């Protein structure tokens, strides 16, 4: 019941959209009715086109993001633990952080061509910095007393990093990854629209060239749903990971 009331505005908006298009307030060429979009979606789904492109997109997304999480967390923690590494790497990060990552797409297309590896590289490089910063700030903020206690109780340096620093930094690591998650979708779709032969971003651009506007909206709806689902799943995952924390 609560959910119904909460999401009622979305239903209203879609209803208004349908009416505007059906009743000719806005030309259906410009804004295809929602029902036509859903019909097109079903068609894309039935022919297997949607699954094919969605699979390509999700694979790139997962691979790029997974790599950036593994590498970024490691770099961030190492930076926090070692002042030397921090001094060496920090100027790089301060300069690269504000760079709009989409600017890397042409160069990566030159390097990697139009296949999976180009999109994976774009996502990896784009998501690396938010993950590094989250891990670095988190690890820097871990209470010194906790580290000292662990050390004085005989934990090895490696065990201290693993059990105390990484755990203590977890809230900020997870927050950094959430930023990266949103960014990864943007970079995925951008890279696929600019240079790819597969994937949902490519499918939008392709349908657009064919003049299939209902189809474009169908794919966009799919992407919006993916983004929403990923965000919700990730929130649930974070809460699970942080269940030891006092609220």
Partner 1 sequence: MSRAARLASIVSPAVLPVLVIAIWEIVARKGLVSTFLLPSFSGVVVRLAQDIASGEILWSAAGTVMRLVVSYAIAAVLGVALGVMMARVRMVRWLLDPLVSIGFPAPKISFLPIFVLWFGVFDKPKIVIAIFACVFPIIAGTWAGTQAVDKYLVWSAEQLGTRPATMLWRIVLPAALPSVFTSLQVALPIAFIAVIVAEMLGGGGGLGGTMMEYTRLADPAGVFANLIAIGFLGFLAMKGLEWLRRRVLVWHEEVQRQGDVVS
Query: Looking at beta carbons only, is 87 or 159 nearer to partner 1?
Result: 87
Query: Looking at beta carbons only, is 13 or 70 nearer to partner 1?
Result: 13
Shortest CB 188 distance to partner 1, Å: 7
Shortest CB 28 distance to partner 1, Å: 13
**Alpha-carbon span 188 to 175, nearest angstrom:** 20
Query: Looking at beta carbons only, is 159 or 232 nearer to partner 1?
Result: 232
> What is residue 32's three-state secondary structure?
coil
Query: Looking at beta carbons only, is 220 or 241 nearer to partner 1?
Result: 220
Shortest CB 136 distance to partner 1, Å: 8
Name the residues that contact partner 1, by CB under 8 A. Answer: 5-10, 13, 30, 84, 87-92, 95-107, 109-111, 133, 137, 181-182, 185-186, 188-190, 193-194, 200-201, 204-205, 208, 213, 216-217, 219-220, 223-224, 227-228, 230-231
Shortest CB 204 distance to partner 1, Å: 6
> What is residue 226's three-state secondary structure?
helix
Shortest CB 76 distance to partner 1, Å: 12
DSSP string, 108-168: HHHHHTTSHHHHHHHHHHHHHHHHHHHHHHHHHTS-HHHHHHHHHTT--HHHHIIIIIHHH
Query: Looking at beta carbons only, is 6 or 144 nearer to partner 1?
Result: 6
Of 209, 192, 212, residue with least CA distance to 201: 192
**Alpha-carbon span 79 to 195, nearest angstrom:** 35
């Amino acid at each position: 019941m609560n959910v119904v009331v909460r999401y009622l505005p979305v239903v209203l908006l879609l209803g208004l959209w349908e009416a505007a298009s059906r009743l000719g307030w806005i030309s259906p060429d410009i804004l295809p009715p929602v029902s036509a979009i859903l019909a097109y979606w079903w068609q894309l789904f039935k022919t297997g086109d949607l699954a094919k492109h969605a699979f390509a997109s999700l694979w790139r997304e997962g691979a790029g993001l997974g790599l950036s999480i593994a590498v970024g967390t490691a770099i961030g923690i190492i930076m926090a633990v070692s002042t030397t590494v921090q001094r060496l790497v920090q100027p790089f990060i301060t300069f690269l952080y504000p760079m709009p990552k989409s600017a890397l797409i042409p160069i990566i297309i030159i390097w990697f061509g139009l296949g999976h590896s180009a999109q994976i590289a774009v996502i990896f490089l784009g998501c690396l910095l938010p993950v590094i910063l989250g891990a670095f700030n988190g690890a820097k903020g871990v209470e010194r007393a906790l580290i000292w206690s662990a050390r004085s109780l005989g934990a090895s340096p490696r065990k201290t990093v693993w059990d105390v620093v990484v755990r203590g930094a977890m809230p900020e690591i997870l927050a950094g990854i959430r930023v990266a998650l949103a960014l990864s979708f943007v970079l995925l779709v951008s890279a696929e629209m600019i240079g790819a032969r597969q994937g949902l971003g490519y499918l939008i651009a392709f349908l657009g060239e064919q003049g299939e506007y209902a189809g474009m909206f169908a794919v966009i709806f799919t992407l919006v749903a993916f983004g929403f689902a990923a965000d919700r799943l990730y929130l649930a995952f974070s809460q699970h990971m942080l269940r030891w924390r006092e609220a």
